């Protein structure tokens, strides 16, 4: 049973069927004038319309990219380089995806200043903190719509209003929220928004950035002038076609999926919390995605739990796919102010609409059994030991686990 849909999803049959001809018969370059090219161009136009419709944008505001990471890079570097003369201050949060955080670290090396807003125990920023952080130098605010590890949803509408009042550009990474909750660029008051195809049953290596009409930015990839000169390179036609179809399907089924996913999630939470002693849910209980839950179990290592669950046929993760093989404390969970020991005891379950085929009782039983087994071996569970100040090469200086 695959329960790691926030890491990636399976391409749906309908999406795959739609893509197939563009690998073989319909192979034309969309920039050429003869029939093959025109057919590919038509397919691109249709996909662009579908993506635009899914987020209430205009087709000319959609630029195709290689995925969420590129869209985040383009939004942030593109605006920063365009507006550097106006100011060099950017505001973000402590829990952004590495595609945002690492891009900002790069800009810091070019003398940009970045303010990282705290998120508190519930994983959500405070609007007051944002207002206080704004200066005359602020050119960009980038705050993710929904978090990929804990599923919390930020008050994007409100942030957008404040950004607008101050004439500051506003970007949001909507990779996780898109297809799970409503993403409407008008309601959200955003200037730039990142999307990725493979998180919503589309193919990998394709995504888009929404750029509000009139918003100017510097391209990252220069070349043949494709995508209105904002993103050069011959378009990934089959990928874009698949992404367009995935967007269409996701919007048509948004409400139905929301109901279905949130009811599975709620049942799962209720059963885990009542079956496993000392278990908790990380992040806000109300403002969150329907398909994702991040549990915390006292005195165990998430990585060990993942392996036990895998052995029983359940694929889940401790947090983000990007950090799961590094064994570092999750910066997102750390930002919630959790004890460093507790940060390592997390389990992220992310559902897909097809997840209703799994037996929740059986799964919860396996979690309970595995957690109990790990606790039997855990000194933290069995003894009252003061681990303060104990150093560890695996988890860093503040580890009190090993």
Ligand X SMILES: *Cc1c(COP(=O)(O)O)cnc(C)c1O
Binding site for ligand X (CB under 6 A): 67-69, 72, 97, 99, 144, 148, 173, 175-176, 196, 198-199, 207
Of 43, 41, 48, nearest to 21 by C-alpha is: 43
At CA 320, angle to CA 336 and CA 263, rounded to 5?
A: 80
Q: Is the dihedral of CA 101, 104, 108, 109 positive or negative?
A: positive
For 72-118, list the strands marked E by DSSP: 89-93, 113-117
CB of 71 to ligand X, least distance (A): 8
Alpha carbon distance 236, 70 (integer Å): 14
Cα-Cα-Cα-Cα torsion 124, 207, 321, 129, nearest 10 degrees, comes to -20
For ligand X, give the closer residue by CB, 93 or 370: 93
For ligand X, give the closer residue by CB, 37 or 98: 98
Helix, strand, coil fractions of the chain, as percent rounded to 5: 40, 15, 45
The DSSP 8-state label assigned to residue 320 in this structure reads -
- The dihedrals phi and psi of 371, each to the nearest 5 degrees, come to -65, -40
CB contact at 8 A, 172 and 142: yes
For ligand X, give the closer residue by CB, 196 or 346: 196
CB of 151 to ligand X, least distance (A): 11
Alpha carbon distance 35, 109 (integer Å): 48
How far is C-alpha 401 from the geometric centre of its chain's CA atoms? 29
For ligand X, give the closer residue by CB, 7 or 401: 7
Is 357 in a helix, a strand, or coil?
Answer: helix
Residue with nearest beta carbon to ligand X: 68
- The dihedrals phi and psi of 12, each to the nearest 5 degrees, come to -75, 155
Helix (H) or strand (E) holding 346: strand 346-350
CB of 208 to ligand X, least distance (A): 10
The DSSP 8-state label assigned to residue 196 in this structure reads E
Residues in the chain: 402
CB of 102 to ligand X, least distance (A): 11
CB of 323 to ligand X, least distance (A): 12
User: Active site residue: 322, 392, 399, 402, which one?
Assistant: 322
For ligand X, give the closer residue by CB, 141 or 371: 141
Looking from the CA of 1 toward its CB, the CA atoms found within 13 Å total 21
Ramachandran category for residue 233: left, alpha or beta (phi over 0 → left; psi -120 to 50 → alpha): left
Check if 322 is active-site: yes
How far is C-alpha 271 from the geometric centre of its chain's CA atoms? 26
CB contact at 8 A, 209 and 39: no
For ligand X, give the closer residue by CB, 145 or 298: 145
For ligand X, give the closer residue by CB, 293 or 364: 293
For ligand X, give the closer residue by CB, 199 or 375: 199
Residue numbers annotated as active site: 322
């Amino acid at each position: 049973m695959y329960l790691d849909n926030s890491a990636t999803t399976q391409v749906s049959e309908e999406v795959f069927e739609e893509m197939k001809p563009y690998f073989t018969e319909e192979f034309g370059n969309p920039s050429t004038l003869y029939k093959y090219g025109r057919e590919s161009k038509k397919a691109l136009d249709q996909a662009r319309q579908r993506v635009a419709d899914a987020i209430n944008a205009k087709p000319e505001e959609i630029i195709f990219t290689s995925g969420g990471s590129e869209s985040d890079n383009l939004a942030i570097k593109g605006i920063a380089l365009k507006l550097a003369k106006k100011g060099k201050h950017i505001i973000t949060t402590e829990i952004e995806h590495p595609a945002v955080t690492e891009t900002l670290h790069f800009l810091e090396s070019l003398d940009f200043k970045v303010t990282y807003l705290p998120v508190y125990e519930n994983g959500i920023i405070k609007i007051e903190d944002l207002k206080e952080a704004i200066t005359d130098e602020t050119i960009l605010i980038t705050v993710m719509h929904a978090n990929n590890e804990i599923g919390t949803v930020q008050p994007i509408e409100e942030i957008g209003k404040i950004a607008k009042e101050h004439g500051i550009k506003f970007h949001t990474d909507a990779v996780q929220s898109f297809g799970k909750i409503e993403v409407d660029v008008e309601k959200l008051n955003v200037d730039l928004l990142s999307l990725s195809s493979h998180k919503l049953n589309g193919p990998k290596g394709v995504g888009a950035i929404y750029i509000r009409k009139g918003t100017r930015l510097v391209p990252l990839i220069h070349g043949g002038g494709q995508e209105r000169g904002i993103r050069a390179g011959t378009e990934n036609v089959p990928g874009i076609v698949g992404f367009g179809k995935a967007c269409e399907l996701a919007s048509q089924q948004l409400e139905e999926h929301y109901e279905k996913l949130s009811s599975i999630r709620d049942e799962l939470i209720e059963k885990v919390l009542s079956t496993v002693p000392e278990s908790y849910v990380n992040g806000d209980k109300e403002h969150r995605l329907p398909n994702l839950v991040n549990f915390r179990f006292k005195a165990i290592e998430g990585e060990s739990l993942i392996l036990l669950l895998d052995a029983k046929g359940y694929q889940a993760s401790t947090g983000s796919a990007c950090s799961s093989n590094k064994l570092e404390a999750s910066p997102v969970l750390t930002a919630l102010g959790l004890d460093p020991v507790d940060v390592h005891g997390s389990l992220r379950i992310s559902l897909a609409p097809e997840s209703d085929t799994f037996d929740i009782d059986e799964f919860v039983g396996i979690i309970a059994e595995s957690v109990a087994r790990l606790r039997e071996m855990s000194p933290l569970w069995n003894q009252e030991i003061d681990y303060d100040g104990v150093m560890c090469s695996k988890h860093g200086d503040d580890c009190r686990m090993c």
